[in-house]
Structure 1
Amino acid sequence: MERATVTSTNLVSVGYDPASETLEVEFKAGVYQYYNVPQFMYDQLMQAPSIGTFFNANIKNAYACARV
């Protein structure tokens, strides 16, 4: 999955596959995939003033994930 580099203290890059609703996040400590993330949530994440804050508040503990 292609990821776009983001400006964040903890996140390095973010990618999204709308067909499978999979959000892929590269942290400084590794890459994780979050499952069943709706398109609007990805859109809001990428438009958030602070991607890290939005991620922690709305995605981190809300969706199943696995390290890849």
Structure 2
Amino acid sequence: MRACRIKTSSMIERVAFDDDAGVLSVSFRQTGKYVYYDVPAAVFEALCKATSAGAFFNEQIKGRFQCRRDPERRRFGPNA
């Protein structure tokens, strides 16, 4: 598992990638963690190096890969 923290993004906090499964986990600052399937390693690497992680995500990942909210992440609070 490889990971990188996105310090300059107001949208994305952290991303992690499982090379064996081709699974990308994206932790959004406002909406939680989502898992994307069948993602090439090059996409993860480019996301970590992108000048704007949010723009890269919207152009290269969003709507292109099957995804779902991370089932392991439990939400707390009145809107959970």
Tell me whether the two structures share a fold, i.e. TM-score over 0.5.
Answer: yes
Residue 24 of structure 1 is matched in structure 2 by: 25
Return the offset for 1:47.
1.1
SS at match of 1:46: helix
- Any conservation in 2 of the 1:10–1:52 contact (CA below 8 Å)? yes
Residue 47 of structure 1 is matched in structure 2 by: 49
Q: Pick closer, same or farther for the CA change 1:2–1:43 going to 2, 3 Å.
A: closer
What do residues 15-40 of structure 1 show as CA deviations (whole Å, max 9, x unaligned)? 00000000000012110000000011
- Any conservation in 2 of the 1:31–1:67 contact (CA below 8 Å)? yes
TM-score, normalised to structure 2's length?
0.78
Return the offset for 1:3.
4.0
Structure with greater contact order relative to length (CA < 8 Å, sep ≥ 6): 1
Structure 1 segments of 4+ aligned residues over 6 angstroms from their partners: none
CA distance in 1, matches of 2:2, 2:51: 22
Structure 1: 5+ residue runs without aligned partners? Answer: none
Q: CA RMSD in A?
A: 1.4
